[in-house]
Amino acid sequence: MDDIFSRFDLVLRAFWLTIQLLVISGIISTVFGTVLAAMRVGPVSVLSKLGALYVSLVRNTPLLVVFIFVFVAAPTLGWFVETPFLLKGTIALTVYTSAFVCEAIRAGINSVALGQAEAARAIGLTFTGTMREVILPQAFRATVPPLASVLIALAKNTSVAAAFGLMEATGRMRFFTNNNADDRPLIFLTFALGYIIIVETMSFGAATLERRWRVAK
Amino acid sequence: MSTVLFDTPGPRTQARHRIYSTAAWLLLVLAIAGFVWRMQTEGELTYAKWEPLITPVFVKALLLDGVLNTVKMAVFAVVFALIIGLVLGVGKLSDRSWVRWPSWVVVEFFRAVPLLLLIIFIYFTYGVGDGIGSFWSVVIGLTLYNGSVLAEVFRAGVNAVPAGQAEAAYAIGMRKTQVMTLVLLPQAVKIMLPAIISQMVVALKDTSLGYYILAPGLTTVGRQIYGEFKNQFQVALVMAALYIGLNLILTFLATKVQHRLVGEKTPLVLADGDVGNVQSGRAL
């Protein structure tokens, strides 16, 4: 009991690493996922098929296997040998999350009423113009709920990094439970509470954004 | 949809698209060639690295101990999760607050906690030594997590049944239990099937987390094989391929069952408002 509270700085530091993983891979996956979504709805069929292939491959692969690729398999090919663990974790999470971000954004684009795109085309906007000025601003708002789900899932998925030597919250819990057999439920609840705070903050933020940005229909 | 975003391309645009396509193909071919070249120079294409993967003993280990155990874990977890999900989902809809609140707390808790954290806790507290073992630790973890997610799906599904159905059932004198079991749930299942199917895929993927506690399953068997033969890359490829194959088969079968049961080509889809934050519980 005393151990976890007397060394609470370790708990906080672990959650700080979790948040770093979450924020960095969240931002990069959003950017990368948007590019993928643009490829998928774009007119160049090779790119669109490539995007579809990427999404269906990654979506059916467990995150743990993606981590094995980055942490265990890639070094045998001479990649990521000297790369810091945080960066490798970010890469694995980004590869995985981008596919889901792509699907969320594509769903958002599909939710924009057909007439909007038609009107944009009618006044002579190009594909890029249609996307930038009309579709994406609306799609991004419709994307808030699914994108928030993806990012919340990402927050929980950062825990997989614990299996590959990152001392983020889940790895740290393992460390504490190892030393204090009797307090395991308490330690578990402490760490669970940390995750619950992160997840609930995110869903509260998403709900607020959703209300504020709701598209008038 | 995507066709309305741009005009039917004219000759100049077509020419431009051809350039893009060629460039994309070129990059793709270059990337693949570079990758194969890298494998060659790092000695990853040598027969020795692939041999274990076509040796009958190891094929048997991968397929029997790996895939079979993975599928077993997923089946147990999905069946139990459906039961727990049904109980908790109906519990959340209960009129009695002493049923509703505990259900709500349990669902919210297990949805927000990462599955790996849960599995590690279960295994190292109840699983090691004479405990329940790693297989059941994973199954219990998966059950609690997916059960909570499914509870939310069930709740949303029942709520999505038009209110008139329940009102009509009450009007002809049915009891609450009868309304739920005879009228609401059968209709809700129809609405929920797509969400249940995607949750099954999630459960199958999440069995891979058994890697951490060495639960029998694909990732653990793979770990042992590459630990022995140092052919990490090849094993990772095979594992990914097996998981993708399993998931595609599962999706295919589930969709077939859905068409058989529901009899519609396009099942009803839950609107955003009905689902609430069902999505946020998915492990993806």
The burial class, CB within 10 Å (0-12 / 13-18 / 19+), for B105 is exposed
The residue with tokens 């008139």 is B164
- The percent of residues in chain B predicted with pLDDT above 70, rounded, is 89
On whether the CB atoms of residues B234 and B49 are closer than 8 A, the answer is yes
Structure tokens at B180: 């739920």
Mutate to test the interface with A, among B116, B138, B142, B242 (most CBs of A within 10 A): B116
B218, pLDDT greater than 80:
yes
Cβ–Cβ under 8 Å, residues B211 and A163: yes
The residues, any chain, with a CB within 8 Å of residue B190's CB and separated by 6 or more, are B261, B262, B267, B268
CA distance B1 to chain A (A): 7
Name the band, by pLDDT with cuts 50, 70 and 90, for residue B173: very high
Q: What is the DSSP string of chain A?
A: -HHHHHTHHHHHHHHHHHHHHHHHHHHHHHHHHHHHHHHHHSS-HHHHHHHHHHHHHHHTS-HHHHHHIIIIIGGGGTSSSS--HHHHHHHHHHHHHHHHHHHHHHHHHHHS-HHHHHHHHHTT--HHHIIIIIIHHHHHHHHHHHHHHHHHHHHHHGGGGGGGT--SHHHHHHHHHHH-GGGHHHHHHHHHHHHHHHHHHHHHHHHHHHHHHPPP-
Q: Over 60: is that where the pLDDT of B31 sits? A: yes
Tokens of A19: 């948040």
Q: Are B138 and B215 in contact (CB under 8 A)?
A: yes
Q: Are B79 and B71 in contact (CB under 8 A)?
A: no
Residues in chain B within 8 Å Cβ distance of A164: none
Tell me the average pLDDT of chain B. 82
* pLDDT-wise least confident of B51-60, B115-124, B134-143, B273-282: B273-282
Q: Are A156 and B42 inside 8 Å of each other by CB?
A: no
Residue from B6, B148, B152, B248 to probe the interface with A (highest A Cβ count within 10 Å): B6
Q: Answer with the residue of higher pLDDT: A89 or B39.
A: A89
Handedness of CA B152, B157, B159, B160 (dihedral sign): positive
- Interface test mutation site (partner B, options A17, A50, A76, A186, max chain B beta carbons within 10 A): A76
Q: Which residues of B touch A170 (CB under 8 A)?
A: 114, 116-117, 120
Q: What is the pLDDT averaged over residues B37-41?
A: 81
- The DSSP symbol for B7 reads P
pLDDT in tens, A62-86: 999 999 888 888 887 778 777 788 8
**Any idea how long chain B is?**
284
Give the other-Cβ count within 10 Å of A214's Cβ: 11
- Number of A/B CB contacts below 8 angstroms equals 187
Q: Which runs of consecutive H residues, i.e. helices, occur in B42-184?
A: 47-54, 56-60, 69-92, 97-112, 115-122, 133-160, 163-171, 176-178
pLDDT at B3 over 60: no
CB B221 within 8 A of CB B242: no
Rounded distance between C-alpha atoms, residue A197 and residue B164, angstroms? 39
Tell me the C-alpha distance between B258 and A124, whole Å.
43
- Flag whether the pTM goes above 0.90: no
- Termini Cα distance of chain A: 54
Least confident stretch, A191-195, B35-39, B70-74: B35-39
Asked if the Cβ–Cβ distance from B112 to A73 is below 8 Å, we say no
pLDDT at B236: 86
Can you tell me the distance from the alpha carbon of B192 to that of B154, in angstroms, rounded to the nearest whole number?
Answer: 7
Query: What is the structure's pLDDT at B132?
Result: 83
Q: What three-state secondary structure class fits B240?
A: helix
* Chain B closest-CA separation from residue A28 CA (Å): 18
Asked if the Cβ–Cβ distance from A184 to B282 is below 8 Å, we say: no
**What is the rounded distance in angstroms from the CA atom of residue A93 to the CA atom of residue A63?**
8
CB B132 within 8 A of CB B63: no
ipTM of the assembly? 0.85
Q: What is the mean pLDDT of chain A?
A: 85
The count of C-alpha atoms lying within 13 angstroms of the C-alpha of B21, restricted to the half-sphere facing its C-beta, is 12
Contacts of A158 in chain B (CB under 8 A): 114
Which residues of A fall within a CB distance of 8 Å from B26? none
Q: Which residue of B has its CA nearest to A186?
A: B121
What was the pLDDT predicted at B283? 35
User: Nearest Cα to A158, choosing from A188, A119, A194?
Assistant: A194
Mean pLDDT of A104-122: 84
d(CA A64, CA B205): 9
Between B244 and B264, name the one with better pLDDT.
B244
| CA diameter of chain A | 70
Picking from A42, A62, A184, the nearest residue to B121 by CB comes out as A184
Distance in angstroms (rounded) separating the CA atoms of residues B63 and B61: 6
Please name the member of B7, B108, B117 whose beta carbon is closest to the beta carbon of A170.
Answer: B117
Are the beta carbons of B232 and A156 separated by less than 8 Å? no
Rounded (5°) CA angle B76-B196-A200? 100
Contact A44 B17 (CB under 8 A): yes
Which residue among B206, B233, B235 places its CB closest to the CB of A77? B233
Nearest CB partner across the interface for B280, out of A46, A152, A195: A152
∠ CA B284-A20-A156 to the nearest 5 degrees? 25
CB contact under 8 A, B117 and A110: no
Write the residue in B21, B39, B44 that is nearest to A46 by C-beta.
B21
CATH of the domain spanning A2-216, picked from 3.40.50.1820, 3.40.50.720, 1.10.3720.10, 3.40.50.300? 1.10.3720.10
Tokens in use for B265?
């080509």
Q: What is the pLDDT of residues B181-203, one digit of tens each?
A: 899 888 888 888 888 888 888 88
- pLDDT tops 70 at residue B268: no
Q: C-alpha angle B195/B119/A5, rounded to 5°? A: 120
User: pLDDT band at residue A2, thresholds of 50, 70 and 90?
Assistant: low
> Using DSSP, how many helices (H) and how many strands (E) does chain B show?
13, 0
* B213 SS3 class: coil
